[in-house]
Amino acid sequence: LLAIQPCSFFEDHIALGEVDSTNTVAERELSSGRPTPFFVVADCQTAGRGRRGRNWHSPQHKNLYLSIALRPSLPPSRLQTITLWLGLRLCQLLRDTYSLPVQIKWPNDLLIHGRKIAGMLTEARVDSEFTRDLVFGLGLNVNTSETDFPEELHSIASSLSMNLGQPLNLSRIAHRIVHHLSDAIQDYLNEDYADELAHLWPEFDFLRGQGISTEQAEGTAVGITRNGSLRVEREDGSIAILHSGEVSLRKS
């Protein structure tokens, strides 16, 4: 099991071997009243998931599968950009620690040289205008090698070790990430970080200047709005705003 030292922000944590999904475990624990904040880590997942039920490849002992559970008691509008904020703070951490050119791809991926090294999945339960439960899930490819990935991920996925040319100590990086995220979460919950997010975004924005084509708009990505939607500039100069299913709301 992954050993992580306690950190004062969290009430406790759960380290497990094989699970279906750490997000699912965290949601179950929230429902049964476990005190927050807490986090869940696992050695591997049999049903790791991405957005819209897509699968997250989660082999044993190689990578980080982490879910952080909170009861923020804030209106959903105050939490709209939490995934982007935590993603940016992870980019900073990985750049500063390993000198890796990590970028964030709106709305929920972290990339190095255009290949995905991490995915984030935030799931929340809203109760009469307030967010009762929130789970932030992070899958970070730490020690997967090219051949560990299934064929269909070969050209699109990567890992920290593939970029650094050597394996990393998984416990150490897990520990760093958990501590860094606890700071980032406290910052975010204590203050309105809209200005800071807008200021930091261009530095790590993978999509900036890239062509975007969706049912709603065709144009060039030109950053995000204050509430975390993607701004796309059409050829005629008008701006389209694309919303994401970034925080999937499960009404209770």
Catalog residues that contact ligand ATP under the rule CB under 6 A. Answer: 50-51, 54-57, 108-109, 116, 119, 139, 141, 153, 157
CA distance 228 to 216: 17
Q: Tell me which of 10, 43, 48, 103 binds ligand BTN, using CB under 6 A.
A: 48
Pick out residues in 217-246 that bind ligand BTN (CB under 6 A): none
3 state SS of 67: strand
Whether 112 contacts 90, CB under 8 Å = no
Dihedral pair phi/psi, residue 138, rounded to 5°: -130, 125
CA distance 164 to 187: 30
Q: Tell me which of 72, 87, 119, 228 binds ligand BTN, using CB under 6 A.
A: 119
Q: Report the candidate in 87, 65, 48 with the shortest Cα–Cα distance to residue 14.
A: 65
- In the numeric block, which tokens belong to residue 233? 């500039």
Nearest residue to ligand BTN on Cβ basis:
119
Q: Where are the beta strands (DSSP E) in the chain?
A: 12-19, 38-45, 64-70, 102-105, 109-112, 115-127, 130-140, 211-213, 218-224, 230-233, 239-242, 247-251
Q: How many residues bind ligand BTN (CB under 6 A)?
A: 21
Whether 4 contacts 13, CB under 8 Å = yes
DSSP H or E run through 82: helix 82-98
Pick out residues in 11-40 that bind ligand BTN (CB under 6 A): 21-23
Task: Choose between 42 and 219: whose C-beta lies nearer to ligand BTN.
Answer: 42
Interaction partner, residue 143 (ligand ATP, ligand BTN, none; CB < 5-8 Å by kind): none
121 near ligand BTN, judged by CB under 6 A: yes
177 near ligand BTN, judged by CB under 6 A: no
106 near ligand BTN, judged by CB under 6 A: no
Interaction partner, residue 153 (ligand BTN, ligand ATP, none; CB < 5-8 Å by kind): ligand ATP
137 near ligand BTN, judged by CB under 6 A: yes
- What's the closest the beta carbon of residue 156 comes to ligand ATP, in angstroms? 6
Where do contacts with ligand BTN occur on this chain (CB under 6 A)? 21-23, 45, 48-51, 54, 56, 65-67, 108-109, 119-121, 137-139
